[in-house]
Chain A
């Protein structure tokens, strides 16, 4: 009988670069920047790492295929390194590989590193996707982009709950304004400028109904984590260390996009992954027990709808919670404490680890100006792909003794 991952693996070190348009450096420098911080934080030597997982998504316009870019850049000691790619969950996938390897007893100390250099393509937005979707999909999939696909969710959500698009846009604007306010407080964030809801609402349209400020930053960056067992963490003299409470993944199986039950108003995968994660972590009432969250706010509407799929807001009630300030920095469950994808930025392969990094800092009381009072559980969430076909990861971490 499986017993889940709770408290089986400790995070003993983390690192994260400044995210942004890092014109002056490549993925290699970014990886080293995050890794050096992580090694120092863990207080171990590089040679103590026994296996590594490397997450990156758009390898074609980034580092290229395989895990060699990570192994060679970090000069890892000829250990096993695995490259993982699962859309926007790639960073969390790398973490999952390292965590499961330790939990299995195969290794004592593992590294998860995610990196993405997105700004070497010459145009705004994510890299064009048509040559990466396979030969058959290429013959028929619509001429879609990420903002367009998530914009569709707004039309489905508004139709399902009979909400006027204007009112939905107001709630979406609050989502973005809150993340901008948080980003101001974070020196590592890509975008560090407060933006008013008025400005957000009047921005040029990217994909109806998403305007420019409904979309997250496209950034370069890297983040990493070193994990081991709680026993080894203790033997290293670590006190108050952080352990993994839950780690779940859920993938679409085609029902949303091909079967006739889904109404285009929510994320099937997030509903499932979060429910499983709460069960794994022993959380009964997430609205009361989760202290803070970093969710996949690739677009404002994604964050809005995700609040319901994480079982924090009731169905159809996320706009109200948002407007009530429930997810603001001083609200009941601060969300996107570090600025989120929206303002911290979104180098895809690094994002899952960057979210964990913020939760890790907060749990250690190292949140600086953004520090939340006595956080217990931090939840992270990634959503890769499109609302109707996606990969979702949910992780929950907290102090070991909790």
Chain B
């Protein structure tokens, strides 16, 4: 049996109430008021499609043997690198093995997530892979005062496919491909170019999705009524309901498009919605998932008994619950580089990324792998040739030790106004890990007033810097103080 063995989700913590956009920008384009319901998820200034992909992937593989993963596929239309395998950054961050792992980026369309899933499933069916992680993530740019600014949210989702402990068995797929260009993003552009909404809605979503679903049902001799939940994206709320009607679906069987809670998360969205459904699914439930983008992929799954006891990760539900309102439109605009604020001369510093150094230390930097002394058992970061324990100081006795999932606490901290930061004050400090080891590290997703010595922390993979001169984004981990509300 091939199917889903785990899932994980990540919706960034910041939410922008759409009325905040309206209050700031409706003077320029009042039409945005029509879709101003609820809030959209906003990636923090130090997040992007790649960092969110790692967050969702980590969530998905929690409790799983990461060394058993033999494929990492990443789907997105907003990856930071067009030539450097982004999925390999995810694999390194997960500290998977390197030999015997194939990584691939799926991009170029919002349906590339489902396409990646089909490839993953087929590679397992063919017997060439056992466990393939499929991650979809998007952080799409939108110009100010546009419908896209209203519709689009940020987020990521991950599905682990395999043969053992399947919670949702794969039952088949059907794909429709056509060069329907509702929007496109040219190479080197930050935002999409979009065509008239009425046409996108009526000739795009409302025809292509039903056609693909019909194709699937015909191929497998099934009826839409066989499914307990049907998932398809469409950021027009009303059209989403109309398509359901067109498909002959009972409204209770339609998965909500999540406009009010996070917005359309692009390539991730079919999975974000799917995972929301998985979080509520019962054994025997049949779920149909469709995507949209130059056609449509349709995949069917049936829940196994194992879904009953599946200890859910944070998932979409958990990350939606972890929310903080971003009250300032200016902050949102600054985080997305829509406006320029001066960082000062101090902020001009731009040391080059040494690729040789990064290669040698890739496990440390991307995977947060430190060392544990084989002589005295002391965990330490970074792994050093000489053990840091003053009573040991053994030479050359380090073995890999992962810090990414280790609990820790704030030992010292500050909020620094002098440091050049997109979101001052820059909060950082020294964290100590409960099982040993400590780290001088940036904090994120926190505010100074709530940061305290002794607070528990979780580590999170973030974009550490963006070197616009050389076009490289650097990644490392930051600590998130866990504030109890």
CB distance B361 to A139 under 8 Å?
yes
Q: Is A263 an interface residue (CB 8 A)?
A: yes
12 contacts between A and B (CB under 8 A): A121-B345, A131-B349, A135-B351, A135-B354, A139-B357, A139-B365, A145-B418, A148-B416, A149-B414, A156-B430, A204-B417, A258-B437
Q: Is A144 an interface residue (CB 8 A)?
A: yes
A341 contacts across to B, CB distance below 8 A: none
Q: How far is the CA of A264 from the CA of B410 in the complex (A)?
A: 11
Kindly identify which residue among B354, B412, B436 contacts A260, using a CB–CB cutoff of 8 Å. B436
Stretch touching chain A among B257-265, B313-321, B421-429? B421-429
Contact A144-B476, Cβ < 8 Å, known A136-B357, A151-B414: no
A78 contacts across to B, CB distance below 8 A: none
3 nearest A-B residue pairs (beta carbon):
A148-B416, A135-B354, A142-B428
Kindly identify which residue among A122, A124, A207 contacts B414, using a CB–CB cutoff of 8 Å. A207
Q: How far is the CA of A147 from the CA of B388 in the complex (A)?
A: 27
Specify the chain A residue showing the minimal Cβ separation from B448. Answer: A208
Stretch touching chain A among B165-173, B295-303, B378-386? B378-386
CB distance B416 to A147 under 8 Å?
yes
A208 contacts across to B, CB distance below 8 A: 414-416, 425, 448
CB distance B388 to A255 under 8 Å?
yes
B441 contacts across to A, CB distance below 8 A: 140, 142
Specify the chain A residue showing the minimal Cβ separation from B440. Answer: A257
Q: Is B420 an interface residue (CB 8 A)?
A: yes
- Taking CB atoms and an 8 Å cut-off, the chain B residues in 333-372 that contact chain A are 344-346, 349, 351, 353-354, 357-358, 361, 364-365
What is the distance, in angstroms, from A168's C-beta to the closest C-beta of chain B? Answer: 13
Specify the chain A residue showing the minimal Cβ separation from B453. Answer: A159
Q: How far is the CA of A144 from the CA of B353 in the complex (A)?
A: 18
Q: How far is the CA of A125 from the CA of B365 in the complex (A)?
A: 29
Q: Is A141 an interface residue (CB 8 A)?
A: yes
A259 contacts across to B, CB distance below 8 A: 378, 380, 388-390, 438
CB distance B388 to A155 under 8 Å?
no
A25 contacts across to B, CB distance below 8 A: none
Kindly identify which residue among B364, B389, B413, B437 contacts A155, using a CB–CB cutoff of 8 Å. B413
CB distance A139 to B464 under 8 Å?
yes
Q: How far is the CA of A208 from the CA of B474 in the complex (A)?
A: 27
What is the distance, in angstroms, from B392's C-beta to the closest C-beta of chain A? Answer: 10
CB distance B440 to A141 under 8 Å?
yes
A254 contacts across to B, CB distance below 8 A: 384, 388
What is the distance, in angstroms, from A215's C-beta to the closest C-beta of chain B? Answer: 9
Q: How far is the CA of A259 from the CA of B432 in the complex (A)?
A: 9
Q: Could you mark each residue 435-465 of chain B with 1 if its beta carbon is under 8 Å from any beta carbon of chain A, else 0?
A: 0111011100000100001100000000010
A121 contacts across to B, CB distance below 8 A: 345
CB distance B428 to A148 under 8 Å?
yes
CB distance B413 to A144 under 8 Å?
no
Q: Is B194 an interface residue (CB 8 A)?
A: no
A361 contacts across to B, CB distance below 8 A: none
What is the distance, in angstroms, from B485's C-beta to the closest C-beta of chain A? Answer: 22
A143 contacts across to B, CB distance below 8 A: 416, 419-421, 426, 428, 442
Q: How far is the CA of A339 from the CA of B365 in the complex (A)?
A: 43
Q: Is A205 an interface residue (CB 8 A)?
A: yes
What is the distance, in angstroms, from B446's C-beta to the closest C-beta of chain A? Answer: 13
Q: Which of B354, B425, B440 has the most CB of A within 10 A?
A: B440
- Taking CB atoms and an 8 Å cut-off, the chain A residues in 102-130 that contact chain B are 121-125, 128, 130
Specify the chain B residue showing the minimal Cβ separation from A386. Answer: B440
Kindly identify which residue among A136, A152, A206 contacts B429, using a CB–CB cutoff of 8 Å. A152
Contact A156-B411, Cβ < 8 Å, known A121-B345, A257-B440, A259-B438: yes
Contact A388-B345, Cβ < 8 Å, known A141-B440, A257-B440: no
CB distance A139 to B353 under 8 Å?
yes
CB distance A156 to B418 under 8 Å?
no
What is the distance, in angstroms, from A255's C-beta to the closest C-beta of chain B? Answer: 6
Q: How far is the CA of A123 from the CA of B378 in the complex (A)?
A: 42
User: Given A138-B354, A259-B438, A388-B440, 20 other A-B contacts at CB below 8 A?
Assistant: A128-B420, A139-B357, A139-B361, A144-B416, A145-B416, A148-B416, A148-B418, A155-B413, A156-B411, A159-B453, A204-B417, A206-B416, A207-B417, A208-B414, A257-B430, A257-B438, A258-B384, A258-B437, A258-B438, A259-B390
Contact A155-B438, Cβ < 8 Å, known A136-B357, A143-B420: no
A260 contacts across to B, CB distance below 8 A: 432, 436-438
CB distance B420 to A207 under 8 Å?
no
Q: Is A153 an interface residue (CB 8 A)?
A: yes
Kindly identify which residue among A139, A158, A207, A257 contacts B358, using a CB–CB cutoff of 8 Å. A139
What is the distance, in angstroms, from A158's C-beta to the closest C-beta of chain B? Answer: 8
B388 contacts across to A, CB distance below 8 A: 253-255, 258-259
CB distance B381 to A258 under 8 Å?
yes
CB distance A123 to B432 under 8 Å?
no
Q: How far is the CA of A140 from the CA of B345 in the complex (A)?
A: 21
B346 contacts across to A, CB distance below 8 A: 123, 125, 128
Specify the chain A residue showing the minimal Cβ separation from B389. Answer: A259
Kindly identify which residue among A141, A153, A155, A206 contacts B417, using a CB–CB cutoff of 8 Å. A206
Q: How far is the CA of A151 from the CA of B17 in the complex (A)?
A: 35
B380 contacts across to A, CB distance below 8 A: 258-259
Specify the chain B residue showing the minimal Cβ separation from A136. Answer: B357
Q: How far is the CA of A106 from the CA of B336 in the complex (A)?
A: 63
Q: How far is the CA of A124 from the CA of B429 in the complex (A)?
A: 23
A253 contacts across to B, CB distance below 8 A: 388, 390
B474 contacts across to A, CB distance below 8 A: 139
Q: How far is the CA of A249 from the CA of B351 in the complex (A)?
A: 31
Q: How far is the CA of A142 from the CA of B364 in the complex (A)?
A: 15
Q: How far is the CA of A188 from the CA of B474 in the complex (A)?
A: 45
What is the distance, in angstroms, from B215's C-beta to the closest C-beta of chain A? Answer: 49
Q: Could you mark each residue 83-113 of chain B with 1 if its beta carbon is under 8 Å from any beta carbon of chain A, else 0?
A: 0000000000000000000000000000000
Contact A152-B413, Cβ < 8 Å, known A136-B361, A142-B428: yes
Q: Which of B390, B426, B438 has the most CB of A within 10 A?
A: B438
- Taking CB atoms and an 8 Å cut-off, the chain A residues in 157-194 that contact chain B are 158-159
CB distance A207 to B430 under 8 Å?
no
What is the distance, in angstroms, from A22's C-beta to the closest C-beta of chain B? Answer: 20
Q: How far is the CA of A208 from the CA of B426 in the complex (A)?
A: 10
CB distance B412 to A264 under 8 Å?
yes
Q: How far is the CA of A145 from the CA of B428 in the complex (A)?
A: 10
What is the distance, in angstroms, from A189's C-beta to the closest C-beta of chain B? Answer: 23
Contact A151-B453, Cβ < 8 Å, known A135-B357, A257-B440: no
CB distance A138 to B351 under 8 Å?
yes
Q: How far is the CA of A208 from the CA of B420 in the complex (A)?
A: 15
CB distance A153 to B412 under 8 Å?
yes
Specify the chain B residue showing the minimal Cβ separation from A139. Answer: B365
B345 contacts across to A, CB distance below 8 A: 121-123, 128
Q: How far is the CA of A51 from the CA of B412 in the complex (A)?
A: 44
Specify the chain B residue showing the minimal Cβ separation from A152. Answer: B412
Q: How far is the CA of A152 from the CA of B354 in the complex (A)?
A: 29
What is the distance, in angstroms, from B322's C-beta to the closest C-beta of chain A? Answer: 23
Q: How far is the CA of A210 from the CA of B413 in the complex (A)?
A: 12
B389 contacts across to A, CB distance below 8 A: 259
B464 contacts across to A, CB distance below 8 A: 139-140
Q: How far is the CA of A148 from the CA of B437 in the complex (A)?
A: 22
B430 contacts across to A, CB distance below 8 A: 152, 156, 257, 264, 388
Q: How far is the CA of A142 from the CA of B415 in the complex (A)?
A: 12
A264 contacts across to B, CB distance below 8 A: 411-412, 430
Q: How far is the CA of A260 from the CA of B349 in the complex (A)?
A: 33
What is the distance, in angstroms, from B118's C-beta to the closest C-beta of chain A? Answer: 36
Contact A207-B425, Cβ < 8 Å, known A142-B442, A255-B388: yes
What is the distance, in angstroms, from B360's C-beta to the closest C-beta of chain A? Answer: 8
What is the distance, in angstroms, from A165's C-beta to the closest C-beta of chain B? Answer: 10
Q: How far is the CA of A62 from the CA of B51 in the complex (A)?
A: 39
A158 contacts across to B, CB distance below 8 A: 453
B436 contacts across to A, CB distance below 8 A: 260
